[in-house]
Amino acid sequence: NPFAGLVSHLRASWLSGKTRPMEYRTAQLEALGHFLDDKKQEILEATASDLGKAPFEAELSEIFLCKNELHETLNNLSHWMKDEQVDRTLAMQLDSAFIHKEPYGVVLIIAPWNYPIHLFLVPLIGAIAAGNCVIVKPSEVSKNTERLVAEALPGYLDKDCFAVVTGGVPETTRLLENKFDYIFFTGSPPVGRIVMTAAAKHLTPVTLELGGKNPCYVSNTCDVTNVARRVAWGRFFNAGQTCIAPDYLLCTIEMQEKLLPALHKAIDDFYGPNPRESPDFGRIVSDKQFQRVQRLLGSGRVAIGGQTDEAERYIAPTVLADVQPSDPIMQEEIFGPILPIIIIANMDEAINFINSRERPLAVYVFSSDDKVVNQVLERTSSGGFCGNDTLMHFTLTSLPFGGVGNSGLGMHHGKFSFDTFSHHRGCLKRRMGWEHLNAPRYPPYSQQKFGVIRATSKVTRKNDCTLL
């Protein structure tokens, strides 16, 4: 296997204990900060070349949010690494019981093309913080960013413990044949199954950050202008190539009539009368993705937008009305700047519609009535949830980010990243002496001995008392 030598070299480094001291982890994390600072312009240029990303969107999503993760981790790492003391029974009062956070070993991070810096760097921060060695596999689809990461990143990190591997499906397939101690994958559910199958051969634990169709229910009681602006921003940010973008709207026919002019105005306010000329609207990443997304324009009726330019891989911010649940656009994650509207009669029907499909990465709801927001929260299931906005839950390092069911498993961000890449080892340290205290557990057994064990080791219900 072409990667066996690399994996074994990293495993030898990990076994040496080199990555475990806090000072080492901190130095490598600080180096990631230097990478972001030094290569800021190159990152903006590479993401512009790959995805037509506006500098504002690239700096916000690929640099600023990564720096937040980095600072959150550096600020709290010493606290997160500490052993966590736990409760003990009466029999264990002289002993030490604690949870010890230790690194898994050699970690593989496979990143996608839509946020090609953020989606490898944020898990990498967690993996380094937890004391692991890491191989990063950036996406070959965002080729300019892949080249930048492969050429620049190794110069900032310890080459004995961290590596970047490039290539397409054949290389990734060979890479996955190796035994890793943890695999973190971001991508589509079909590829997630392939990764999980490869991991199962070695009983390797995985985090899968997958996608899905994120519903957005708009109730009849809301500020239509605000809803339109927040939905349009979330859908058309990065030209719709965002795993947590609102994928489709659910609303009544009356609300659709109000929303369409408001969405038209929001798109015009954001990108002007011709979004193709806007410096703030991106492009589809590849010809293959362009053709896939363009085919989806055949569903329903184009109410706003619909223009395309294959040479530029441009698809205008588009809203589709009269969409049926059986239409092609409702059978796959859109991952492009198209927003279909599905008509429902009321909130109950919207919730039933959401629950009849695979569990999404995010559920969105807009309503001026908090009861409606809470009903949607309580009666649906998704990786994350955001009421009266889109995308913004993702920006908080204090919230876990991850999927459920078909949208993924596991979570990261902030401390959740550290915990994901740490094995939580349950530890008990007892004294060598005091052997007479152990006598009740040894044969020959008796009811009297069991009574002593029960009295000293029992976990009682609150407001319950034990009579000795």
Options 57, 69, 72, 209, the catalytic residue: 209
Report the half-sphere exposure of 210 (CA within 13 A, side-chain side): 28
Angle at 410 between CA 137 and CA 193, to 5 degrees: 60
Backbone angles phi, psi at 10, to 5 degrees: -65, -35
Neighbours of 19 (CB within 10 A): 24
pLDDT of residue 340: 98
Q: Which of 333, 301, 67, 322 is nearest to 189 (CA)?
A: 333
pLDDT of residue 433: 92
pLDDT of residue 9: 98
Angle at 263 between CA 234 and CA 253, to 5 degrees: 110
Mean pLDDT over all residues of the chain?
97
CB 278 within 8 A of CB 299: no
Instruction: Please tell me the distance from the alpha carbon of residue 175 to that of residue 168, in angstroms, as a whole number.
Output: 11
The one-letter amino acid code at 103 reads P
Domains of the chain (ranges, CATH numbers): 3-211+410-423 (3.40.605.10), 215-403 (3.40.309.10)
Reading the block at residue 69, the tokens are 């993760």
Neighbours of 425 (CB within 10 A): 11
Would residue 333 show up in a list of annotated catalytic residues for this protein? Answer: no
Angle at 217 between CA 265 and CA 325, to 5 degrees: 100
Per-residue pLDDT of the chain (468 residues; tens, 9 = 90+): 999 999 999 999 999 999 999 999 999 999 999 999 999 999 999 999 999 999 999 999 999 999 999 999 999 999 999 999 999 999 999 999 999 999 999 999 999 999 999 999 999 999 999 999 999 999 999 999 999 999 999 999 999 999 999 999 999 999 999 999 999 999 999 999 999 999 999 999 999 999 889 999 999 999 999 999 999 999 999 999 999 999 999 999 999 999 999 999 999 999 999 999 999 999 999 999 999 999 999 999 999 999 999 999 999 999 999 999 999 999 999 999 999 999 999 999 999 999 999 999 999 999 999 999 999 999 999 999 999 999 999 999 999 999 999 999 999 999 999 999 999 999 999 999 999 999 999 999 999 999 999 999 999 988 866 555
Instruction: Please tell me the distance from the alpha carbon of residue 326 to that of residue 330, in angstroms, as a whole number.
Output: 7
Would residue 243 show up in a list of annotated catalytic residues for this protein? Answer: yes
Give a three-class secondary structure readout of the chain.
CCCHHHHHHHHHHHHCCCCCCHHHHHHHHHHHHHHHHHCHHHHHHHHHHHHCCCHHHHHHHHHHHHHHHHHHHHHHHHHHHCCEECCCCHHHCCCEEEEEEEECCEEEEECCCCCCCHHHHHHHHHHHHCCCEEEEECCCCCHHHHHHHHHHHHHCCCCCCEEECCCCHHHHHHHCCCCCCEEEEECCHHHHHHHHHHHHHCCCCEEEECCCCCEEEECCCCCHHHHHHHHHHHHHHHHHCCCCCCCEEEECHHHHHHHHHHHHHHHHHHHCCCHHHCCCCCCCCCHHHHHHHHHHHHCCEEEECCCEECCCCEECCEEEECCCCCCHHHCCCCCCCEEEEEECCCHHHHHHHHHCCCCCCEEEEECCCHHHHHHHHHHCCCCEEEECCCCHHHHCCCCCECCCHHHEECCECHHHHHHHCEEEEEEEECCCCCHHHHHHHCCCCCHHHHHHHHHHHCCCCCCCCCCC
pLDDT of residue 462: 86
Options 243, 251, 333, 386, the catalytic residue: 243
Neighbours of 135 (CB within 10 A): 21
CB 114 within 8 A of CB 285: yes
CB 240 within 8 A of CB 57: no
CB 216 within 8 A of CB 246: yes
Cross-sheet strand order for the sheet of 133-137:
162-164, 133-137, 106-110, 182-186, 206-209, 408-409
